[in-house]
Chains A and B, each alone.
Chain A
């Protein structure tokens, strides 16, 4: 039986894509097809899942994404290396600073540019601040999805405070564009270290409060323990990384195992759990926030005054008084922003432990001011792929818990 709705849907579609299901028969064997998203409050960002339900149990499902695709990789091939910094903010917008830092690091690696000590310390502050706020939003939203609203507000206040700190660094709260290739947009203001320390001390207390509020909660445990289980073998099959992999027992943290910047000089633990369910992912994130706070307070002690720019003439943006007062400075400034600097031929895959997992920039340069290939390896891409497998045979309400716990950010998923 055909009706007008099916005819309308089938119009203009290839034969293989037409809906042959009789709409009246969907209830015939008590199975229904539910479409969740792309705009649904429980789907984080514009994600879509189509699930075949038997009662409440998901029998089979498939996921779709690409609704916020902004062709970042194509843009990367058609913008200069300096121009592309602003696009990296919009990858994982919950931790924009990490994307800035990793992108700058990857271009510096191709150029062979070293940045001064203070710049590296500030970049580490950026990474750990961003990691804390990313984890806070992940566990907060995950709890909101399951009905624990006040927990979210505790974290959100500290998150706003962290954004105030970030605003002091970069002048923007969300889309920071803070790093430059070979340096930073600006130095940290006077007294930033003490403000950071005060924030760390306050956040420690808030995390303890949040921990005691939710971790032992019976309802929270019933909704999360044993839900969305993804074991070690499955994690390796689907290339999971970051907190999701560590929740399943993969003892790997790129900050510790492939240290870049000054992560060798700070002490921190890598929390690892074994069960790989929603509850363990939550525990890992709570533990990682504590570790990040430890790192932040160590950095606040260690950071010293000094230059923040590499002295390499290729990447150094000339100071404003040089630009305004000398001819050479003006020409340099003009050439820098109009032509950009050339990156020598070569290719490198630079990775870093971002808040969600391994964030990688695979840049192929052919020697021009624009890259030949700008591949962005976002961890969410590999996590979201496994969602269908993760929730197969579970209840539809548990899908929401699983999706929140793997922290899919549509920005780095769609790019």
Chain B
């Protein structure tokens, strides 16, 4: 099969529309947070649709809060929160896909986190991050510091292992004799 050189076409219609806005925003972000911004990957140079901002783990909540509340940014909508298993050190990347309802512009924030490390929770910025973080914990085993209710969400509470890790086996069973019972402590 014909495998061509990688082409950065997935910028699509975003680039002509938001290219300059992104540049000013990234500069403002760098001026505000300095060393906390580890790396920035801009679209035509990297094959990505929107800029990726790598933020140091401990500084993620102030950065997200700034992106949400600052008038130049106004990324008020958490479109998605997920993670990827990069199979190198540090192992995981927690991904925040943000969307601005006012400028209709998107940006992606990433945090590199080693296996067993904790990321500060984003619930104080968006309440809706709660379940998404639980899912990342369930699927990847990335823990979130300060999360009020970090239980498994998709898998059974007695499940062993984190399915979306790359070394997790594709086949196998874990059978439980009874269903998950009601947990009255959650209703207090």
Contact = CB atoms under 8 A, between A and B. Distances in A.
Q: Is the interface of B mostly helix, strand, loop or mixed?
A: loop
Interface string A254-296: 0001100000000000000000000000000000000000000
B182 to A, nearest CB: 5
A385 B131 contact: yes
A83 interface: no
B91 interface: no
Interface string A318-338: 000000000000000001100
B45 to A, nearest CB: 12
Interface string B172-187: 0000011011111111
Contacts, number: 149
B127 interface: yes
B97 A349 contact: yes
A29 B170 CA distance: 49
A348 B4 contact: no
A375 B82 contact: yes
Interface in B3-58: 3-10, 12, 46-50
Interface string A35-54: 10000000000000011100
Interface string B137-169: 001000000000000011101100001101010
A37 to B, nearest CB: 11
B187 A52 contact: yes
B187 A60 contact: yes
B77 A239 contact: yes
Given A19-B182, A66-B154, A347-B49, A386 B80 contact: no
B108 interface: yes
Contacts of A342: 1, 3
Nearest to B86: A372
A341 interface: yes
Interface of A: 8-9, 12-13, 16-17, 19-21, 33, 35, 50-52, 59-62, 64-66, 69, 71, 73-74, 77-78, 109-112, 236-239, 241, 250, 252, 257-258, 313-314, 335-336, 339, 341-342, 344-351, 358, 360, 362, 364, 367, 372-373, 375, 377, 381-382, 385-386, 414
Given A347-B49, A351-B79, 19 more contacts: A9-B181, A19-B184, A33-B184, A59-B187, A71-B163, A237-B128, A239-B78, A314-B3, A344-B6, A349-B50, A349-B97, A360-B80, A360-B97, A367-B6, A375-B82, A377-B79, A377-B97, A381-B131, A385-B130
18 contacts: A9-B178, A19-B182, A19-B184, A51-B187, A66-B155, A69-B154, A73-B139, A237-B127, A348-B10, A349-B97, A349-B108, A362-B82, A373-B84, A375-B80, A375-B82, A377-B82, A377-B97, A381-B131
